[in-house]
């Protein structure tokens, strides 16, 4: 027995005062509507309607059950309307994960602007420099993660938000002591500060040069998954770092760090929004991704001073 359908038939019969009219309104046969009411009475164990050839009258139990049915239908309709409103205007909580360096320097500004534009949405930003796995979405209750490297996992959707510039740089002290590399192949003779967990092979640095793309295998004594830690290591003269430009904008402008290999540009890498692959993307996630793409298109974070970030 379809409980909801039998309840709907019962309410229609009472309000119409006729099995025939109720059947027409529901697009069903009179016999089927009559069976629905009989099945419902059998299920609840009491008579709901007194029937005669000329009239239908509610029993006391039927009157009480009618009030219950109508209250239930109002609640269902109200809930459905709330769900529709949620699809149009996101509400609830949006929980997202991002790298510490980028999240601290620039992403927080975008999140704050987003929170201002969506007052009905509670936004939680978690900053972690740890390897992220697809099952962390469920374990950590995350809606979305932001990364600067692809997960290459069929269980998630990846949406490119914006390109991020990278730069190879070192302190003037290091360069005066070790010399300036003139070609990417010279990096083999230098101490390099390696940003791990960004590419499949972190020790292979790639450049776009005058004669095409070129790769160089590097090594060194300092590795980190934090661009801010690599910046500190470069400022301390430990070696040459290949880092996102947003992490060293002020140091490059002040001369505390100097770009190396100016004729060879590291390719940009995209900021990627990652979220679980589901049949329908939650409205709050889609709205956030769209907002973030628009925000970064209007803000050149690669050249924005950290003091203004």
Q: Beta strand pairing status for 92-98 and 121-127? A: parallel
The DSSP secondary-structure symbol of 306 reads G
Which pLDDT score is estimated for 292? 92
- What tens digit of pLDDT does each residue of 211-244 get? 889 999 998 889 998 888 999 999 999 999 999 9
C-alpha Rg value of the chain to the nearest Å: 32
User: Given this model, what pLDDT does residue 87 score?
Assistant: 56
Joined together, the tokens standing for residue 305 give 């001073």
Residue 309's pLDDT band, with cuts at 50, 70 and 90, is very low
The domain over range 166-267 is classified in CATH as 3.40.190.290: yes
| 92-162+271-308, CATH topology level | D-Maltodextrin-Binding Protein; domain 2 (3.40.190)
Residue 274 Cα distances to 57, 80, 87, 144, 155, angstroms:
60, 29, 20, 6, 10
Judged on CB neighbours under 10 Å (0-12, 13-18, 19+), 21 is: middle
CATH code linked to domain 3-87: 1.10.10.10
Extents of the domains making up the chain: 3-87, 92-162+271-308, 166-267
The token pair that represents 72 in the structure block: 């239930």
Tell me the per-residue pLDDT of 12-25, one tens digit each, with 9 for 90 and over: 888 888 898 889 98
pLDDT of residue 307: 55
What gap in Å lies between CA 198 and CA 217, rounded to an integer? 15
pLDDT given for residue 78 in this prediction? 77
pLDDT tens, residue by residue, 37-82: 999 899 989 999 988 777 788 999 989 999 998 888 888 887 776 6
**Higher per-residue pLDDT: 132 or 299:** 299
Let me know if the fold of 3-87 is the same as that of 92-162+271-308. Answer: no
* Residue 173 predicted with pLDDT over 90: yes
Contact by Cβ (8 Å): 166, 303 = no
What is the predicted pLDDT for the residue at 82?
A: 65
* pLDDT tops 80 at residue 157: yes
pLDDT, tens only, 277-295: 888 888 899 999 999 999 9
3-state DSSP assignment of residue 217 = strand
Q: What is the pTM of this model?
A: 0.64
């Amino acid at each position: 027995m379809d409980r909801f359908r039998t309840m709907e038939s019962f309410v229609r019969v009472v309000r119409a005062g006729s099995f025939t009219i109720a059947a027409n309104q529901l697009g069903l046969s009179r016999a089927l509507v009559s069976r629905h009411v009989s099945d419902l009475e059998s299920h609840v164990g009491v008579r709901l309607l007194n029937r005669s050839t000329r009239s239908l009258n509610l029993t006391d139990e039927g009157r009480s059950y009618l009030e219950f049915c109508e209250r239930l239908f109002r609640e269902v309709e109200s809930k459905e309307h709330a769900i529709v409103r949620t699809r149009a205007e996101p509400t609830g909580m949006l929980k997202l994960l991002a790298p510490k360096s980028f999240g601290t320097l620039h992403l927080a500004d975008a999140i704050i602007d987003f929170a201002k534009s969506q007052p009905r949405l509670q936004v939680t930003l978690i900053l972690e420099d740890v390897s992220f796995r697809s099952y962390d979405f469920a374990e950590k209750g995350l809606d979305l993660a932001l990364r600067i490297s692809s997960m290459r996992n069929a269980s998630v959707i990846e949406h490119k938000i914006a390109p991020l510039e990278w730069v190879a740089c070192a302190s003037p002290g290091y360069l005066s002591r070790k010399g300036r590399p003139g070609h990417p192949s010279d990096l083999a003779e230098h101490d390099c500060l390696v940003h791990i967990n960004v590419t499949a092979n972190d020790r292979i640095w790639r450049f776009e040069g005058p004669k095409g793309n070129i790769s160089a295998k590097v090594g060194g004594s300092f590795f980190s998954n934090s661009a801010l830690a690599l910046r500190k290591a470069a400022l301390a003269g430990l070696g040459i770092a290949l880092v996102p430009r947003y992490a060293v904008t002020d140091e490059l402008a002040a001369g505390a760090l100097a770009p190396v290999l100016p004729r060879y540009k590291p390719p940009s890498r995209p900021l990627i929004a990652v979220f679980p692959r589901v049949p329908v993307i939650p409205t709050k996630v889609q709205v956030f991704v769209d907002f973030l793409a628009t925000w970064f298109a209007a803000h050149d974070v690669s050249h924005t001073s950290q003091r203004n970030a």
